[in-house]
Structure 1
């Protein structure tokens, strides 16, 4: 009898262990299988939260089918204590294992709200935008000019949220004074800075955090520009009439200010290269403007004849060759154009009314182009 009972107990234990193994196997398979989320979502994990609250939020959003299994899986992987606060992009059909990895991996938030401080040539803007998980694109929530507009409530709200991301976007062609002035007005940064040397800051987008120093942001911009300048100099054409990376930086800054049309940068560069080769003065208005403003703000009016004739170190109607410093911070495309201009016979260009320029090889052709431009200007003035 006891032998029979023992045999039955062993059988039941084997069955129980078999069933338990099956349950574990099913649980592991379910934990790693595609989840029920039909559209990507932005999961926000508040500071001080835990896996229990996260699993509840995921269940309510339809991202997981079993919150208990989600928590058990996180425990089994020893990741429960690694939960990070922030906003995280959860892709469609993400498994529970993938979601646990997303919320414990660390690093910057991958979705949610972003504040972008845009430093432009003519104005500064602050943009509040939200990532749309379904498209992966940011949607603008608010935008304002901090120098002119009242601060919108949307900005104050996101500034109070711990997981808001911040970015500084530097436009091509801004001056170093404009960058310094804008950084001094960004309240989340700390510390003081002196005006960086003209041309040494790379136009780009830089992610920053609360408490970052202004000096550290400038250092990143300078390091990035060094990389771009050195790469352009190393890849330069042997025919380019420049003697140093510094001269390339100066020419690139002039190209940057002369055209906003990407496809004609190398043509503009060719005009200046041809003029330098022939010993001709560059005769470019942006350098004259820099001699007037020294890069502080925007001139906001046309140049006067006295300014075109007035001697300054940057007035290329008066001086020979390149000015002594850059006149703005050029981007990668202008650096590359200065290093490798198109091969053209052009030595003149003038605005053509479309945002680009009309190029010419002879003075007669140039004068004809100038006459067309003057007619366009007159027609526009009469329409206003």
Structure 2
């Protein structure tokens, strides 16, 4: 095999391999790790060809994923470019902070302690990190993203909305997030709660009953009558206005819905049996919709 084929031809790795290059490692040390992983044929040969045919740019430490058959020339370029293996931690929309904490604690190759973040301070999304990064560093990214998005969304808010501060928007958005899983319903749900706030009606949002009990985790059973009647800083059946704080970490769409709700006079909504809801302007209409929902539940054994 000629020298150019050794350098630019297919590499020896039969499968993708992961290689960790320590901080401060020389090219020789990196080559040793690459050879151990089967990413190159010979550490000594790799160093020699790198000096003859490669650039003199320094290599960068980190965890690398070397694809099967990647040429030794491209391996060097990857190390010099710092194209390290990206890992991701995902926070779905509506995740409560206790589950954000548990997710970060379980994420592989993250280090260091964290405290559960304050509810509503994390923007749901997928966040990239590298091996050896800290949990606090990733959490800082999540919280910075929320600060930036909320600030921008607040500047774009429509006039006449029911909330008067970014924090109140965040609180209401967390309720909207937990009340519907259908993207097309968010602005209507936001409109219902906005209308209730303006009229001084209790929001009567079931997720606000659950939050003090589970900190946002699934309840796993039906809500008890005593829990509906419980007086605390979150139960919107036993109080008017917004709860004391967010009940989850709302996503961008729910924040946007609260800051630009649908034009509607609706004050009520109930499940329609399809995973969505049916909305009503009056209590009479709502009671009829509730009766239909109860009949549906009975017919389907729910």
Aligned to 2:239: 319
Aligned to 1:191: 112
- Aligned match for 1:226, one of 140, 147, 150: 147
**Which digits, 9 at most, give the CA deviation of each residue in 1:241-282, with x for residues without a partner?**
111000000000000100111121111111111112222221
1:91: how far off?
11
Aligned to 1:286: 207
- Aligned match for 1:353, one of 273, 279, 283: 273
Whether the aligned pair in 2 keeps the contact of 1:351 and 1:373 (CA below 8 Å) is: yes
Distance 2:176 2:71 in 1: 51
Aligned to 1:106: 82
- Taking structure 1 as the reference length, what is the TM-score of the superposition? 0.63
Whether the aligned pair in 2 keeps the contact of 1:269 and 1:341 (CA below 8 Å) is: yes
1:376 lines up with 2:296 in the alignment = yes
Change (3 A) 1:217 1:72: closer
**Which digits, 9 at most, give the CA deviation of each residue in 1:329-354, with x for residues without a partner?**
11111111111111122111111111
Whether the aligned pair in 1 keeps the contact of 2:157 and 2:260 (CA below 8 Å) is: yes
Whether the aligned pair in 2 keeps the contact of 1:193 and 1:214 (CA below 8 Å) is: yes
Aligned to 1:299: 219
- Aligned match for 1:337, one of 257, 266, 273: 257
Whether the aligned pair in 1 keeps the contact of 2:96 and 2:248 (CA below 8 Å) is: yes
Distance 1:99 1:209 in 2: 18
Change (3 A) 1:271 1:83: closer
1:80: how far off?
8.1
Whether the aligned pair in 2 keeps the contact of 1:173 and 1:328 (CA below 8 Å) is: yes
Aligned to 2:282: 362
Classify the secondary structure of the residue corresponding to 1:50.
Answer: helix
1:301: how far off?
0.9
1:269 lines up with 2:246 in the alignment = no
Consecutive unaligned residues of structure 2, counting only runs of 5 or more, are 22-28
Whether the aligned pair in 2 keeps the contact of 1:84 and 1:105 (CA below 8 Å) is: no
Whether the aligned pair in 2 keeps the contact of 1:79 and 1:104 (CA below 8 Å) is: no
Distance 2:240 2:290 in 1: 23
Consecutive unaligned residues of structure 1, counting only runs of 5 or more, are 1-26, 60-67, 111-164
1:50 lines up with 2:17 in the alignment = no
1:176 lines up with 2:97 in the alignment = yes
Distance 2:62 2:238 in 1: 60
1:284: how far off?
0.9
Classify the secondary structure of the residue corresponding to 1:230.
Answer: helix
- Taking structure 2 as the reference length, what is the TM-score of the superposition? 0.78
Higher strand share: 1
Classify the secondary structure of the residue corresponding to 2:301.
Answer: helix
Change (3 A) 1:91 1:339: farther
Distance 1:85 1:279 in 2: 56
1:98: how far off?
6.2
Higher-Rg structure is: 1
- Aligned match for 1:310, one of 212, 222, 230: 230
Change (3 A) 1:202 1:46: closer
Classify the secondary structure of the residue corresponding to 2:263.
Answer: coil
Change (3 A) 1:42 1:245: same
Higher relative contact order at CA 8 Å, sep ≥6: structure 1 or structure 2? 2
**RMSD over aligned Cα atoms:** 3.8
**Which digits, 9 at most, give the CA deviation of each residue in 1:104-123, with x for residues without a partner?**
3113226xxxxxxxxxxxxx
Q: How many residues align?
A: 290
Whether the aligned pair in 2 keeps the contact of 1:270 and 1:344 (CA below 8 Å) is: yes
Change (3 A) 1:240 1:248: same
Change (3 A) 1:45 1:334: same
Whether the aligned pair in 1 keeps the contact of 2:210 and 2:216 (CA below 8 Å) is: no
- Aligned match for 1:200, one of 118, 121, 141: 121
Whether the aligned pair in 1 keeps the contact of 2:62 and 2:84 (CA below 8 Å) is: no
